[in-house]
Structure 1
């Protein structure tokens, strides 16, 4: 049994980079092959031992709640038609009774504000935060790797990824004190630093394990970068008490909050499917050939 039982999923964003698709479909419901982004995040959490799922959502995102609800009429039709595989595919979309809670973030005031909404449901125990935009492909889920490491270390832990120096301004970046294998001890984090001021090239990716003490910091948090309540600032405030570590996970990360990253992830996951890879590979090779214009 995992010592991390609860996970917060901030899903209140508008997904403006995917308009017009996200005009009526939550960004988290966009699909990679045949699963929406939110399903990849939930599956990763389940693998890590998460039992309670807390979505911090916003108006107009009812499709997220519907997706994880039962669909009795659909299941009846599939059963009558003998579609066993389709019924099996639906099983992963269902939550045990009481396992899913949907909270409403009335205003988009930052990641720190979103996480703070879950305070009453979390209490004082350690918990995970998963950003569905970051899809991580690997043999073992990134969160499961982090949970295993966190059991011995405790404190706050963030997923870390080495990025080119030219890209550090897109991320929160760890100020590294020491490294031991995949675990980095940090003096803190810097939010989106200029390349010449970056303390390292270890970027923070959308997976966190946070000690319950974070809520004391979030309650007293003032607006930071971009005028938002930054989770980074709350974590930094605990460096000298709770402690902060980075964990360099095994796996390939895709930024599915961008169109480019989303398209790359779609290709990577399609190529990983035995039932799709041959035809898909042939299609890609044919697409690379110069087009011939027919007179």
Structure 2
């Protein structure tokens, strides 16, 4: 199972982040000194995925532009002798092979994945990475799924345990743990009520899928919220070909949640030696225990 392509759906409206996202895609909001989507792309690259298919809409061209050359800016930096900044933006412009597909109606994550069917060749497996979930660890989140998918030759989804009071925000799975942190998925429920959730294992925006997912997406009716839910197609995948879930190791930030978005900014700033001491000095008086 060779996996080279990744679908990154970025067509959503970002309503959780309004008013900041009124005219700026949520995926382009900065986390420290990079837009959210660049962290997702860098995770993909670190996992061997260089062909990136953005599922976008008419107002998201700025995402594609970010991964292209800005010749005017490059000329300005070159004339000013700002070689370090010039090197950074040229690296961003060449880091991926960018494919863009318009999702002309926002009909859910499942529909977004289905939009990419024509650019996925034959029986090729592919990754899906939700564009507002950031994951960091010694081993990139999506790479943990790719390794299992290649060894078991099955579709794999990423999960993490969440507090019971948060299960209604996620797709939740139940299944049998067949080896440490790896589950044979039996049931998937999209945003269940707290008292009806089959577990606390939440799907967290990382998937490696076989091409058979497309026929399942084409066969399902709109589900939760009137949308084509990827969760519903994954249930069919689990019932027929089989489906695994991997408990992802690492740190996760949901950048659609303001507390987590702001925490991500602080986290990355603290990694910079030149900023760390000043940042802590500015934060300390603001904290109740400061």
Q: What TM-score do the two structures reach when normalised by structure 2?
A: 0.94
Uncovered stretches (5+) of structure 1, i.e. residues with no partner: none
Q: Please name the residue that 1:93 is paired with.
A: 92
1:65-84 aligned at under 5 Å gives the runs 65-84=64-83
Q: Please name the residue that 1:139 is paired with.
A: 138
Q: Deviations over 1:198-257 (max 9, x none)?
A: 111111001110111101111112101111000001011011332111111111111101
Aligned partners of 1:251, 1:138: CA distance in 2, in Å?
4
Q: Please name the residue that 1:150 is paired with.
A: 149
The answer (yes or no) to whether the contact 1:211–1:242 under 8 Å persists in 2 is no
1:201-280 aligned at under 5 Å gives the runs 201-280=200-279
Deviation above 4 Å: which 4+ runs of structure 1? none
Aligned partners of 1:150, 1:125: CA distance in 2, in Å?
12
Aligned partners of 2:268, 2:241: CA distance in 1, in Å?
38
Q: Please name the residue that 2:23 is paired with.
A: 24
Aligned partners of 1:215, 1:56: CA distance in 2, in Å?
15
Q: Does 1:126 align with 2:143?
A: no
1:176 CA drift (Å):
1.4
Q: Deviations over 1:125-156 (max 9, x none)?
A: 11001112111122221012221222101222
In structure 2, the residue corresponding to 1:82 is in which secondary structure? coil
35-44 vs 269-278, which moves further: 269-278
In structure 1, the residue corresponding to 2:101 is in which secondary structure? strand
Aligned partners of 1:139, 1:53: CA distance in 2, in Å?
22
Aligned partners of 1:252, 1:179: CA distance in 2, in Å?
24
138-147 vs 220-229, which moves further: 138-147
Aligned partners of 1:277, 1:137: CA distance in 2, in Å?
19
Aligned partners of 1:285, 1:36: CA distance in 2, in Å?
26
Q: Please name the residue that 2:161 is paired with.
A: 162
Uncovered stretches (5+) of structure 2, i.e. residues with no partner: none
1:289 CA drift (Å):
6.3
In structure 2, the residue corresponding to 1:236 is in which secondary structure? helix
1:80 CA drift (Å):
2.3
In structure 1, the residue corresponding to 2:192 is in which secondary structure? coil
Q: What TM-score do the two structures reach when normalised by structure 1?
A: 0.93
Q: Please name the residue that 1:108 is paired with.
A: 106
The answer (yes or no) to whether the contact 2:160–2:204 under 8 Å persists in 1 is yes
The aligned length equals: 289
Aligned partners of 1:19, 1:239: CA distance in 2, in Å?
36
Q: Please name the residue that 1:51 is paired with.
A: 50
In structure 1, the residue corresponding to 2:92 is in which secondary structure? coil
What is the root-mean-square deviation of aligned Cα atoms in Å? 1.8
